[in-house]
Amino acid sequence: MRPRWEHAVVTGGAGFVGSHLCTALMDQGTAVTCVDDFCTGSRENLSHLEGRAGFTLVRADVSKPFEVRRPADLVLHFASPASPADYLRLPLHTLETGSAGTRNALALARSWGARFVLASTSEVYGDPRQHPQNESYWGNVNPVGPRSVYDEAKRFAEALTTAEFTSHGTDTAIVRLFNTYGPRMRGHDGRAVPTFICQALAGEPLTVTGDGRQTRSLAYVDDTVRGILAMAASDLRGPVNLGNPDEITMLGLARLVIELTGSRSEVRFIDRPTDDPAVRCPDITLARGKLQWEPEVPAREGLDRVIRWFRERRPA
């Protein structure tokens, strides 16, 4: 079968989700140019692609003008610090990537007549007062809180992407990704799944914030990538939620990781971060109906895969 696209540009392609996107596109026969400044991504995530015909790596900060020499028919804008540890360390860079970086990526797509897909986030819903969250919900975001640099960067990126379509007719789309996990996550990035797994494998206490009753909805990365490419291949503008509607409490997740790793670790409760959402669960009615997409990998199976991946990389 011929690929849907001849050449795709993936900004942030050395990151967790971005590197899986690059792999999926290459495996279906699409040439890929990855653009990344490695502020949070890793070249190791791309080691299996470097040297393959059709793969190009451009080291660049997308918030500044950058060049991709070969025109593309698909631009996937995934560049951004995404974990709390990263965007709290790089607040201005996060805002610049969401604003100037989105504008630069949109300009490329417009110049080539390419389909453009923005990776937005469930964080645009903030600490939601609607549950589960559907795409028509406007959110409950603190614009000056510690998480605002990421939340507002993505909200502005959505507004910019929408304005690009209404002003220039550029073929744009927006996906809102909920919590995604899988291989190539960094153990120290502050997100619950890799943190709990690394603590359990080391025999350390699993640090659960607050009372652990806050919920998240975890989607395995292969499911998320499948949804992103389905959105890219559609004529939808979005936004469209992509996530797993099966909720789990953070305490429940910690206990499940302990069980799956066979660890003797205990749970230790620590202070809950400011503006940490109490609940997070996507309404995926739109994705199911328009993209015929829904997650397929159960939590136990997905976590088993990630645990094996981390085990294989632990020092002997």
CA distance 142 to 125: 10
Contact present, 289 and 257 (Cβ < 8 Å): no
Cis peptide bond N-terminal to 132, omega within 30: yes
* Catalytic entry in 87, 125, 150, 220: 150
Q: Which two tokens stand for residue 295?
A: 């997650």
Q: Which two tokens stand for residue 2?
A: 């011929």
Active site residue 150: yes
Write the CB contacts of 121 (distance below 8 Å, at least 6 apart in sequence): 82, 150, 151, 154, 176, 177, 178
DSSP 3-state of 105? helix
Q: How far is CA 252 from CA 240, 271, 302, in A?
A: 28, 17, 15
Q: Determine if residue 182 is left, alpha or beta; phi over 0 gives left, psi from -120 to 50 gives alpha, anything else beta.
A: left
Contact present, 295 and 174 (Cβ < 8 Å): no
Neighbours of 104 (CB within 10 A): 21
Q: Which two tokens stand for residue 53?
A: 């015909």
- For the purposes of burial, counting CB atoms within 10 Å of the CB of 167, is it exposed (0-12), middle (13-18) or buried (19 or more)? exposed
Q: What are phi and psi of 215, to 5 degrees?
A: -110, 155
Q: Which two tokens stand for residue 93?
A: 């860079």
Helices (H) and strands (E) in the chain — how many of each? Answer: 10, 13
Active site residues: 150
